[in-house]
Amino acid sequence: QVRLVESGGGLVQAGTSLTLSCVASGRTFSSHAMGWFRQAPGKEREFVAVITWNGRNIHYADSVKGRFTISRDDSKNTVTLEMISLKPEDTARYYCAQDDVGDYDPPYSFIYGMRYWGKGTLVTVSS
């Protein structure tokens, strides 16, 4: 049974930084792509970032490119999302996700979601 537990959310001011972490358990972490998604109040869940099994392929939503960095530490079964220059529009519940595949070919299915989800961690950015 796959379990994903996020941490690191909180209330921050615009322009500051925050780092989210997600610890996975239940199956071989290093074989699977990992991602972050977010859902703002009243909006649909959206893709934020994905990192493939070996860390060689990384994709970001246009809205976070240059500000967010996704990384993974297979020794700790952890995926991290470093967020800088936060904006009020980054306010959302952030979800960690793990897919059944390790890598992707176009069209990239990860933007629609992944197989397993955490419960999320809330990020609030005040102006």
- pLDDT over threshold 90, residue 112: no
The string of DSSP codes covering 83-101 is E-S--GGG-EEEEEEE-S-
| Tens digits of residue pLDDT in 9-22 | 999 999 999 999 99
Q: CA 121, 71, 31: angle at the middle one, nearest 5? A: 100
Per residue in 20-79, pLDDT tens?
Answer: 999 999 999 999 999 999 999 999 999 999 999 999 999 999 999 999 999 999 999 999
Cα 68 from Cα 48, distance rounded (Å): 9
DSSP β-bridge partners for residue 26? none
Report the side by side order of strands in the sheet with 3-7.
3-7, 18-25, 78-83, 68-73
